[in-house]
Amino acid sequence: MEDISKYDSRPALEQSLSSLEDFRWLTTERRKAHYERGERLTEWVVLGRFFLDSCGNIGEYISENIPVEVFPRLPIIMTIDEFWEYVNSQSHSGSGKDISISIRYGGAIPSKSSVCSVCGRLDCIESNPHRKK
């Protein structure tokens, strides 16, 4: 019996942001959980840039509506339900931002450029100007 909290919980996701290797480990474990053991995973939006689906796939938001760029105060880790609740609450408050979202799958996600070149963290605010606001 696998401990799903290691790859499908908020603490596990927070932990995984410390390096590209940790994050890739987590996404590999999620893929195995689904494709080898048939587990259905929680869907997460991470850093407002990445989408982890219930089958262990990872996608990257593309085009002009990258969530963290539209909503700079977006929490770092959200379930998909929390994410849509947040987006809808922002729209009702009059920001008027309708968000239509495109996601790309495949290739190296996240790429090395998503990682801070100094500390190696994925959530480093030095490498992500949107987080400083």
| Residue ranges in contact with Zn ion by CB under 5 A | 116, 118-119, 124, 126
Task: Show the tokens assigned to 31.
Answer: 């893929």
Least distance to Zn ion from the beta carbon of 20, Å? 12
Query: Which is closer to Zn ion, CB of 103 or CB of 124?
Result: 124
Q: Smallest distance, Å, CB 49 to Zn ion?
A: 16
Instruction: Identify which of residues 108 and 119 has a Cβ nearer to Zn ion in the complex.
Output: 119
- The alpha-helical segments, DSSP class H, found in 45-105 are 67-70, 80-90
| H helical segments located in the chain | 10-16, 20-35, 67-70, 80-90
Beta pairing partners, 50: 46, 60
Nearer to Zn ion, 62 or 125 (CB): 125
